[in-house]
Amino acid sequence: MGWNMSKPIIGISTCFEKQGAHNYHQTGHKYITAISDVFNGFPLLIPSLGNMLDRQNLFEIVDGLLFTGSYSNIEPHNYDGQPSDSGTKHDSNRDETILPLIPEAVDAGIPILAICRGFQEMNVAYGGSLHQKVHEVNGMTDHREDSSKDLNGQYDFAHKVNIAPHGILGQISDEKEQMVNSVHWQGVSQLGLGLKIEGTAPDGLVEAFSVSGSTSFALGVQWHPEWKVMENPFYKSIFKNFGDACLTHKLENI
């Protein structure tokens, strides 16, 4: 049987984790199901191999790239930040894999959706910097989840995002504001070069951006639209538009 040409192949970033005596390349189930449920995408996990990853060969295989959230944070030396507090979880393998991958993928016209850590990776990849503790920055609110609640409560709506007009989100959303969840404690400090703000939180924190001049879909969001994506029209529309761009890229490169 031939390959279903309506099924775009989506590369998904992985975290490098040691479990017991062995190392694993892994990602969250919710990202995989969001791709398959919303637009019937075929998920392909990208191993965190750093410079050993053949990026050009990857670009010939995938029709889009999804950069996921993670429990780890980008090592601050990648954006000239101060050393992290002791015990902060990092993933240098993922940093070394994804940071150079993002701008090369954009230049190659590969559609991109970046979520949470992926959003932060995208900012750093374009020369931006991060607040390591948004809740300690003067004038900013606490963007962390309420750990006293169950998982549904932690991922429930937390604040509005003000949608910038004439951008990707402005075309997706019929409203000037959308409610989103908030499950992060790092965030954009200095915006990366060539990134266009697509949405901000009420305290002014950048919550979404796109890449100016990109030939394809290239969007990063700080919240988690993959969470119960089929129940939220705004979240679903983000994945739907990403999927449409991936299918277009596939058909144009047959």
96, 121, 198, 226: which is the annotated catalytic residue? 226
User: By the 8 A CB rule, do 242 and 235 touch?
Assistant: no
d(CA 37, CA 242): 13
Identify the active-site residue in 75, 96, 116, 246.
116
Which whole-number Å values give the CA distances from 26 to 15, 96, 121, in the listed order? 5, 16, 17
Catalytic residue among 207, 224, 246, 249: 224
Q: CA-to-CA distance for 111 and 246, rounded, in angstroms?
A: 6
Count CA atoms within 13 Å of residue 97 on its CB side: 23
Query: Residue 113 CA to chain centroid, in angstroms?
Result: 5
* Conformational region of residue 167, where left means phi above 0, alpha means psi within -120 to 50, and beta covers everything else: beta
Rounded-to-integer distance, Cα 251 and Cα 97, Å: 27
Active site residue 29: no
Q: Enter the tokens of residue 120.
A: 């932060």
User: Catalytic annotation on 116?
Assistant: yes
End-to-end CA distance of the chain, in Å?
18
DSSP SS3 for 215: coil
> CA 100 to CA 214: how far, in whole Å?
16
Could you confirm whether 15 is annotated as catalytic? Answer: no
> What is the CA angle 180-210-34, rounded to 5?
50
Q: Which residues are catalytic?
A: 116, 224, 226
